[in-house]
Structure 1
Amino acid sequence: MLRVTFLGTSGAVPTVERAPSALHVNREGDEFLFDCGEGTQRQMMRFGTGFGVSHLFVTHLHGDHVLGIPGLVQSLDFNDREEPLAIHGPPGSKRHLTDLVHAAGHDPGFPVTVREVRPGGVALDRAEYEIRTFETAHRTSSVGYALVEDDRKGRFDREKAEEELEIPPGPAYGKLHEGESVELDDGRVVDPDQVVGPPRPGRRVVYTGDTRPVEATVEAAEDADLLVHDATFLHEASDRARETAHSTAREAGQIAARAGASRLALTHLSSRYAGRAHELEREAGEAFDGEVLYPDDGTRIEVPYPDADGE
Structure 2
Amino acid sequence: MSILRLTFLGTSAAQPTLHRNLSGLAVKANTDLLLFDCGEGSQRQMVRYGTGFTVDAVFFTHFHADHYLGIIGFLRTLGMMGRDSAVQLYGPPTARRLLNQAVHLGVESLSFPVEIHELRDGDTVRRRGYSVQAVAVDHRINALGYVLQEDERPGKFNLEKVKALGVPSGPLYGQLQRGEPVQLADGRTIRPEEVVGEPRPGRRLVISGDTRPCPAMVKASREADLLIHESTFSDDEQARALETRHSTAREAAQVAREAGARRLILTHLSSRHDTDPSRLLAQAREEFKGPVEVAHDGLTVELPLRD
The two structures have a TM-score, normalised by structure 2, of: 0.96
| Structure 1 counterpart of 2:154 | 153
Alignment of 1:232-271 (within 5 A): 232-271=232-271
| Structure 2 counterpart of 1:73 | 75
| Structure 1 counterpart of 2:15 | 13
Give the Cα–Cα distance (whole angstroms) in 2 for the partners of residues 219 and 188 of structure 1: 47
Give the Cα–Cα distance (whole angstroms) in 1 for the partners of residues 161 and 219 of structure 2: 38
Following superposition, the deviation at residue 187 of structure 1 comes to 2.3
Give the Cα–Cα distance (whole angstroms) in 2 for the partners of residues 223 and 73 of structure 1: 36
Following superposition, the deviation at residue 161 of structure 1 comes to 1.5
| Structure 1 counterpart of 2:145 | 144
User: SS at 2:147's partner residue?
Assistant: strand
| Structure 2 counterpart of 1:102 | 104
| Structure 1 counterpart of 2:86 | 84
Q: Which amino acid aligns with 1:91?
A: P
Give the Cα–Cα distance (whole angstroms) in 1 for the partners of residues 85 and 107 of structure 2: 21
| Structure 2 counterpart of 1:220 | 220
Give the Cα–Cα distance (whole angstroms) in 1 for the partners of residues 224 and 50 of structure 2: 26
Measured against aligned partners, the alpha-carbon deviations of 1:207-261 in whole angstroms (never above 9, x if no partner) come to 1110011111122221111111110001221111111000110111111112221
Give the Cα–Cα distance (whole angstroms) in 2 for the partners of residues 106 and 17 of structure 1: 35
Task: Confirm or deny that 1:44 pairs with 2:46.
Answer: yes
Alignment of 1:172-187 (within 5 A): 172-187=172-187
Give the Cα–Cα distance (whole angstroms) in 2 for the partners of residues 117 and 23 of structure 1: 19
Contact 2:135–2:146 (CA under 8 A) maintained in structure 1: yes
Q: Which amino acid aligns with 2:64?
A: H
Measured against aligned partners, the alpha-carbon deviations of 1:11-35 in whole angstroms (never above 9, x if no partner) come to 0021110011000000112000000
Give the Cα–Cα distance (whole angstroms) in 2 for the partners of residues 227 and 268 of structure 1: 13
Give the Cα–Cα distance (whole angstroms) in 1 for the partners of residues 161 and 121 of structure 2: 46
User: SS at 1:180's partner residue?
Assistant: coil
Following superposition, the deviation at residue 270 of structure 1 comes to 0.2
Following superposition, the deviation at residue 106 of structure 1 comes to 4.1
Q: Which amino acid aligns with 1:112?
A: V
Consecutive unaligned residues of structure 1, counting only runs of 5 or more, are none
User: SS at 1:115's partner residue?
Assistant: strand
Q: Which amino acid aligns with 2:134?
A: T
Structure 1 stretch displaced more, 203-212 or 101-110: 101-110
Give the Cα–Cα distance (whole angstroms) in 1 for the partners of residues 270 and 205 of structure 2: 23
User: SS at 2:106's partner residue?
Assistant: helix
Q: Which amino acid aligns with 2:163?
A: E
| Structure 2 counterpart of 1:134 | 135
| Structure 2 counterpart of 1:29 | 31
Q: Which amino acid aligns with 2:113?
A: P
Q: Which amino acid aligns with 1:171?
A: P
Give the Cα–Cα distance (whole angstroms) in 1 for the partners of residues 274 and 209 of structure 2: 20
The two structures have a TM-score, normalised by structure 1, of: 0.95
| Structure 2 counterpart of 1:93 | 95
Measured against aligned partners, the alpha-carbon deviations of 1:37-88 in whole angstroms (never above 9, x if no partner) come to 1111111111111111110100101010011111111111111211211111
Following superposition, the deviation at residue 92 of structure 1 comes to 2.4
Q: 1:127 to 1:80 in 2, by over 3 A?
A: closer
Contact 2:12–2:274 (CA under 8 A) maintained in structure 1: no
Following superposition, the deviation at residue 105 of structure 1 comes to 4.3
Give the Cα–Cα distance (whole angstroms) in 1 for the partners of residues 31 and 190 of structure 2: 37
Give the Cα–Cα distance (whole angstroms) in 2 for the partners of residues 53 and 170 of structure 1: 37
User: SS at 1:286's partner residue?
Assistant: helix
User: SS at 2:306's partner residue?
Assistant: coil
Q: Which amino acid aligns with 2:22?
A: P
Q: Which amino acid aligns with 2:23?
A: S
Consecutive unaligned residues of structure 2, counting only runs of 5 or more, are none
Contact 2:232–2:247 (CA under 8 A) maintained in structure 1: yes
Give the Cα–Cα distance (whole angstroms) in 2 for the partners of residues 44 and 176 of structure 1: 42
Task: Confirm or deny that 1:168 pairs with 2:168.
Answer: yes
User: SS at 1:154's partner residue?
Assistant: coil
Give the Cα–Cα distance (whole angstroms) in 2 for the partners of residues 300 and 90 of structure 1: 27
Contact 2:231–2:247 (CA under 8 A) maintained in structure 1: yes
Superposition CA RMSD, Å: 1.2
User: SS at 1:98's partner residue?
Assistant: helix
| Structure 1 counterpart of 2:198 | 198
| Structure 2 counterpart of 1:301 | 301
Q: Which amino acid aligns with 2:130?
A: Y
Give the Cα–Cα distance (whole angstroms) in 1 for the partners of residues 185 and 112 of structure 2: 57
Give the Cα–Cα distance (whole angstroms) in 1 for the partners of residues 128 and 48 of structure 2: 32
The equivalent position to 1:121 in structure 2, one of 120, 123, 129, is 123
